[in-house]
Amino acid sequence: MYVAVKGGERAIENAHRLLAHERRGDRDVPELSLDQISEQLSLGVDRVMTEGSLYDRELAALAIKQARGDLIEAIFLVRAFRATLPRFGATEPVDTGKMQVRRRISSTFKDIPGGQILGPTFDYTHRLLDPQLAEGGAPELPAQSEAPSATILRVIDILGRDGLIESSPPADDDKPVGDLTREALSFPADRDLRLQNLARADEGFLLALGYSSQRGYGRNHPFAGEIRLGEVEVEFMAEDVGFAVPLGSITLTECQMVTQFKGSAAQAPCFTRGYGLAFGQSERKTMSMALVDRTLRARELGEEVLAPAQDEEFVMSHSDNVQATGFVEHLKLPHYVDFQSELGLLRKLRKEFTEAAEAPAPLQEAAE
Amino acid sequence: MTVTDEKSQVRRKAMAVLADSDTAEIAGRLAGIAMPAHENLREPENGLVMVRGRIGGDGAPFNLGEATVSRAAVRLATGEVGFGYALGRDRKKAQVSALCDALIQASDHADAVENQVLAPLRATVLSQRKRKAAETAATRVDFYTMVRGEG
């Protein structure tokens, strides 16, 4: 059957015009500025930067405004934008050990050098809606106390000194760093590619997978060895300048999960690690990422792969919410021709079914 | 340390301050300096860098995600070439940073740039950092143990 594929231009144009109107909302209410979004909805901005895989607060704020607060739509917009700019190269790996820390906690040791620093956290709030916020007004200025000048050591290094925890896999200068924005995914995937995939993965997807691993779908009995938030300097080896150029600082959240490992013939029992790193203040994301990073090491550590969270092909193929959205939402695009053929097939099958039902008994049995 | 290394270190430190500073602040302070003739060697342009992290924080590198960057290059009539790089898409920031980088390499201008531009910017950056560190320090937990009875 012939199906017209033309038409609809005016409807589309008017739909977008209506969308812009709805986006603006009540015109008597002041319009949101990008600064307001960036400053006051900052964790939404952080999520869009992390999963949009592009550190640029202003662009993420614009995307949130344009997407009417739909963060996955905003992430989609940011991903599309990054394709419009040339890439100058890769930065030197950031040193989170030199972070200007604004939050740093550990659930493994009470007394850690540098202390438990709560920073700006929802933890220990009562999760009661605050009617004062509805009225607005300036909050109290933050308290201050004398800050130690020393860099805050990694908690993980305390365990590392006694050999109780595995060390990080060392850099191999001969091996290029995997980049899934340049090459299609193939399996098995190395840990660098897995971490890149997890870093841009949907927070909800990772949260559910991490949660499933805690509940017994995959072995994970983790502790939050350390979570830290703060500013890290970024440097870029600019060939034209001749040395690594400081580009400024970015905000990062890092999570080190510590998990029991019973050892193998070749290795004494020790703690193993899962790692999470994300742009901005993204604590739930990095904790989930670290859990899933650890479960995905099942093959490497000789653990049986039984649960979804341990299956790298399952995790990495379904973690990207832009891809997932594309495939799920394409279902609403015209499938008129496909549907017509399915409809034709179904009519034929139903006709056969009816004919079989109306036929004499022995034949009916044969048809079954 | 060789002379070149020392010069590079001075430039790197200046670049770090500029990257952390506000464009209007840099431009405003730079306006107070008699600007020598110069030309753009590379028109300011925006692009991306892939930000890398390390597995476990200190292991093999991996690609975390991209960041926007602006860059520019200028050449003074006397030959010094300056580069400006900064996170974000502010071409003007790259441009004024490149000018600063060129000027601190020119002996006639280095002191003026240090005293009138970099030093005050550095003070601002440091005081912002100090304030943040003090606000952070106030959220540090002081554990105490409840002691029962006398000793």
A87 contact partners, CB below 8 Å, separation of at least 6: B47, B48, B49, B50, B66
Q: Binning pLDDT at 50, 70 and 90, where does residue B129 land? A: very high
Say whether both A78 and A100 belong to one domain: no
What is the separation of C-alpha B107 from the centre of its chain, rounded to a whole number of angstroms? 21
Say whether both A105 and A241 belong to one domain: yes
- Both tokens of A193, joined, read 């590619």
Q: Binning pLDDT at 50, 70 and 90, where does residue B2 land? A: low
Interface test with A, best of B4, B49, B101 (most A CBs within 10 A): B49
Say whether both A33 and A157 belong to one domain: no
For every residue of A103-120, DSSP letters joined together read EEE-SS-SS-TT--B--S
A91 falls within a domain: no
Q: Is the peptide bond before A188 cis (omega within 30 degrees of 0)?
A: yes
How does the average pLDDT of chain B come out, rounded? Answer: 93
Say whether both A100 and A199 belong to one domain: yes
| Tally of domains within chain A | 2
A281 falls within a domain: yes
Q: Binning pLDDT at 50, 70 and 90, where does residue B146 land? A: low
Give residue-wise pLDDT tens across range A325-347: 999 999 998 888 888 999 999 99
Say whether both A165 and A240 belong to one domain: yes
Interface check for B85 against chain A (CB to CB < 8 A): the answer is: yes
> Please, what is the angle between helix A42-52 and helix A71-82, to 10°?
50
Give residue-wise pLDDT tens across range A8-55: 889 999 999 999 999 999 999 999 999 999 999 999 999 999 999 999
Q: Is the pLDDT of residue A361 over 90?
A: no
Please tell me the distance in Å from A301's CA to the nearest CA on chain B.
16
Q: Tell me, what's the ipTM? A: 0.93
Q: Is the pLDDT of residue A86 over 50?
A: yes
Q: Is the dihedral of CA A327, A332, A334, A339 positive or negative?
A: positive
Measured CA to CA, the distance from residue A267 to residue A165 in angstroms comes to 11
A254 falls within a domain: yes
Identify any residues that bridge with A221 across adjacent strands, giving them in sequence order. Answer: none
pLDDT of residue B103: 97
pLDDT of residue A196: 98
- Please report the beta strands in A239-336, taking only residues with DSSP state E, as ranges in sequence order: 243-261, 270-279
Please tell me the distance in Å from B72's CA to the nearest CA on chain A.
11
Say whether both A200 and A264 belong to one domain: yes
Give residue-wise pLDDT tens across range A91-148: 999 999 999 999 999 998 888 888 999 999 999 999 999 999 999 889 999 999 998 8
Domain positions in chain B are 3-123
A301 falls within a domain: yes
- Both tokens of A306, joined, read 């039984």
Say whether both A17 and A110 belong to one domain: no
A229 falls within a domain: yes
* Neighboring chain A residues of B143 at a CB cutoff of 8 Å: 110-111, 116
pLDDT of residue B12: 96
pLDDT of residue B134: 96
Q: Binning pLDDT at 50, 70 and 90, where does residue A367 land? A: very low
- Cβ–Cβ pairs < 8 A, chains A and B: 236
- Both tokens of A338, joined, read 């496909």
Q: Is the pLDDT of residue B150 over 80?
A: no
Name the residue among A98, A87, A317, A300 with its Cα closest to residue A198: A317
Q: 């742009």: which residue's tokens?
A: A279
pLDDT of residue A4: 54
Measured CA to CA, the distance from residue A97 to residue B28 in angstroms comes to 35
Say whether both A107 and A229 belong to one domain: yes
Q: Binning pLDDT at 50, 70 and 90, where does residue A266 land? A: confident
How does the average pLDDT of chain A come out, rounded? Answer: 92
Share of chain A above pLDDT 90, in %: 76
Interface test with A, best of B23, B50, B80, B83 (most A CBs within 10 A): B50
Say whether both A109 and A250 belong to one domain: yes
- Domain boundary among the residues A55, A82, A109 is at A82
- The boundaries of the domain holding residue A15 are 10-82
Please tell me the distance in Å from A102's CA to the nearest CA on chain B.
5
What is the separation of C-alpha A262 from the centre of its chain, rounded to a whole number of angstroms? 30
Say whether both A100 and A225 belong to one domain: yes
Measured CA to CA, the distance from residue A64 to residue A74 in angstroms comes to 5
How large is the average pLDDT for residues A353-362? 84
A106 falls within a domain: yes
Using CA atoms of B81, B87, B92, B96 in order, give the dihedral in degrees to the nearest 10.
Answer: -40
* Neighboring chain B residues of A244 at a CB cutoff of 8 Å: 12
A355 contact partners, CB below 8 Å, separation of at least 6: none
pLDDT of residue A8: 84
Neighbours of A4 (CB within 10 A): 7
pLDDT of residue B149: 63
Share of chain B above pLDDT 90, in %: 88
CA distances from A345 to A2, A332, A349, B17, B69 (A): 17, 21, 6, 70, 55
pLDDT of residue A365: 52
How large is the average pLDDT for residues A165-175? 89
Say whether both A52 and A115 belong to one domain: no
* Neighboring chain A residues of B118 at a CB cutoff of 8 Å: none
Say whether both A78 and A112 belong to one domain: no
* Neighboring chain A residues of B140 at a CB cutoff of 8 Å: 115-118, 145
* Neighboring chain A residues of B52 at a CB cutoff of 8 Å: 90-94, 177
